[in-house]
Amino acid sequence: MKRIMALFGVAVLIAGCGGGSGGAGNRLSIATGGTTGVYYVYGGGLAKQLSANIANTQATASVTSASIENIKLLATGKADIGFSQSDTAADAVNGTGSFTEKQPIKALARIYDNYAHVVVAPGVAAGKVADLKGRTVSLGPPNSGTQVVARRMLEAAGLNPDSDISKQQLSINESVQAVKDGTIDAFFWVGGLPTAGVVDLATTRSDMKMLDTSDVLAKMQAEHGEQYVGLDIDMSVYKLTGTIKTVGIANVLLVPDTMNEQLAYDITRTLFEKKAELAAVHPEANKLDLRLAQQVAPVALHLGAVRYFKEEG
């Protein structure tokens, strides 16, 4: 009898852990990014909606270094949902770049586009990415999608990220503070519009500037594919004037490939049915689009997401 009761206790414990079972008592961890980035804000809003709209579910958003770390958390069962840039996700399913083997992930949806921000401190004479040679530059935190894009942008500009600049690896929060303190000349940030950290910097240092990076786009596309696109940033989102051209990359919402189909369906359904509520948390949620959401290649859509999109026609 003691042995039977012990086995029963283990079964209950397993049933109550993680989001993979799709049963009662789902606890979902959403891997996002830094606290002043869009992933974290969006993820917090998503956690609230999942908790309110999927029975017996409690979702929480966690601070991470973003894309690369998020995928590793999904692959090791330490997260149930993760935000990622599509270029990093492509590396993950192909086992290239930052990944030594193919990662067991699937996509629920493409959600919105990220914009490459190359922010230059006031007084620094730089008009394009190549002008950062010899400067102290943050490429974003380790294990972030920002760092992947930053390195590729520098290489496309003819610079070696490890020797042609004095490289720093700072989060968005740390980068903004470092510009305020005068300890770095520039930083890369890849995120949605607006990003709170950049808003903060632009508000306190209206003489900051952002570089037009359109000159590196063609080389990036030739080296890494058409996943990189040209986008415009209307600087009014940062209370500044003008428009700049930059490199864009899509974002995808990922889950482990072992996630229960019904749970993946319910998450995808909630994402779209609660679009208005999510947009009230961050305007990038307005970009949710049923047709565009299915464009996640080379990552495969999870079967739960496939079922939802088929139902919505």
Closest CA to 246 of 257, 259, 235, 260: 235
| Domain-wise residue ranges, the chain | 25-112+250-312, 115-249
What is the SS3 assignment for 201? Answer: helix
pLDDT by residue, tens only, the chain of 313 residues: 434 334 334 333 333 334 443 444 799 999 999 999 999 999 999 999 999 999 999 999 999 999 999 999 999 999 999 999 999 999 999 999 999 999 999 999 999 999 999 999 999 999 999 999 999 999 999 999 999 999 999 999 999 999 999 999 999 999 999 999 999 999 999 999 999 999 999 999 989 999 999 999 999 999 998 899 999 999 999 999 999 999 999 999 999 999 999 999 999 999 999 999 999 999 999 999 999 999 999 999 999 999 999 999 8
DSSP 169-190: ---HHHHHHHHHHT--SEEEEE
Burial string for 186-216 (b: 16+ CB within 10 Å, else e) reads bbbbbbbbbbbbbbbbbeeeeebbbbbbeeb
Burial class (CB in 10 A: 0-12, 13-18, 19+), 12: exposed
Residue 143 is given by DSSP the state: T
**Predicted local confidence at residue 23, as pLDDT:** 43
Indicate the residue type of 153: M
Q: What's the pLDDT at 10?
A: 36
Residues present in the chain in total: 313
* pLDDT computed for residue 46 by the predictor: 98
Instruction: Tell which residue, 303, 253, 270, 305, has the closest CA to residue 71.
Output: 253
Q: Give the homologous superfamily in CATH for domain 115-249.
A: Periplasmic binding protein-like II (3.40.190.10)
CATH number of the 25-112+250-312 domain: 3.40.190.10
- Residue 313 has a pLDDT of 84
Q: How far apart are CA 30 and CA 157, in angstroms?
A: 35
- What's the confidence (pLDDT) of residue 22? 41
pLDDT value of position 25? 77
